[in-house]
């Protein structure tokens, strides 16, 4: 028995001519706001509010930011500005922890004092371990 597997499931169906249902609703809502603004407001305010509503409706219907619908971008911006953000990074001075040298061949009394810089510690550790391993290979 053969089954037909649906393809192009991420593409929305065109319901109203070349428009999807969402696009039609956005454009119809913007058109309704333009009509109401021209019917009840003075001309200056009607052009101002109607123009903004028309641009917003067209942006919702057709504009994409990084291949994502404009409504998703608006939702993300709204969540960013309304939800609290908590930043916890604070620089704290931590005491330097000495590493255990139990497995090391070099006696701990012969080790020099190392500065507080982590880069110096790392370089010193690499140099000591390199010299330890190179001594073993030479013998």
Look at residues 45, 62, 79 and tell me which one is the last residue of a structural domain: 62
Residue 42 corresponds to which tokens in the numbers above?
Answer: 């003075």
Residue 90, domain member (yes or no)? no
Residue 76, domain member (yes or no)? no
Residue 84, domain member (yes or no)? no
Residue 128, domain member (yes or no)? yes
Residue 119, domain member (yes or no)? yes
Q: How many domains does the chain have?
A: 2
17-39 pLDDT tens trace: 888 899 999 999 999 999 999 99
C-beta of residue 70 within 8 angstroms of C-beta of residue 60: yes
Residue 72, domain member (yes or no)? no
56-90 pLDDT tens trace: 999 999 999 998 999 999 999 999 999 888 777 77
Determine the Cα–Cα distance for residues 18 and 15; give it in Å rounded to an integer.
Answer: 7
Number of neighbours of residue 28 by Cβ within 10 angstroms:
14
Residue 31, domain member (yes or no)? yes
Residue 97, domain member (yes or no)? no
Does the predicted model carry a pTM greater than 0.85?
no
Band of residue 121 on the pLDDT scale cut at 50, 70, 90: confident
Number of neighbours of residue 47 by Cβ within 10 angstroms:
14
| Residues of the domain holding 117 | 113-138
């Amino acid at each position: 028995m053969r089954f037909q597997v649906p393809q192009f499931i991420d593409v929305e169906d065109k319901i109203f001519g070349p428009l999807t249902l969402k696009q039609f609703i956005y454009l119809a809502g913007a058109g309704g706001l333009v009509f109401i603004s021209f019917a009840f407001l003075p001309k200056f305010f009607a052009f101002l509010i109607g123009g903004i509503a028309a641009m917003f409706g067209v942006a919702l219907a057709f504009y994409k930011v990084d291949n994502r619908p404009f409504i998703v971008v608006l939702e993300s911006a709204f969540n960013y500005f309304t939800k609290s953000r908590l930043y916890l990074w604070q620089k704290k001075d931590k005491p330097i922890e000495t590493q255990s040298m139990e497995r090391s061949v070099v006696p701990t009394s012969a080790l020099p004092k190392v500065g507080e810089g982590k880069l110096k510690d790392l370089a010193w550790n690499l140099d000591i371990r390199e010299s330890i391993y190179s001594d073993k290979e030479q013998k």
